[in-house]
Amino acid sequence: MIEVPGGDHGFAVPRRAEITQERALEIITDGVVEWTGSLG
């Protein structure tokens, strides 16, 4: 599970969020890369 501050289930963050939409996608992408790398 990856937490995106202010994000919803569609990976969107509101304009008033503390992070940008681009940063939200980076957080998700980094998490997926880390997870797939751990699969061996």
- Name every residue whose Cβ is closer than 8 Å to that of residue 17 and which is 6 or more positions away in sequence: 5, 6, 7, 24
pLDDT digits (tens, 9 = 90+) for 5-40: 999 999 899 999 999 999 999 999 999 999 999 998
CA dist 14 and 20 (Å) reads: 8
pLDDT score at 40: 87
Would you state the pLDDT for residue 24?
95
- φ, ψ of residue 27 in degrees (nearest 5): -60, -45
Identify the DSSP state of 14. Answer: -
Q: pLDDT value at position 23?
A: 96
Tally of CB atoms within 10 A around 24: 20
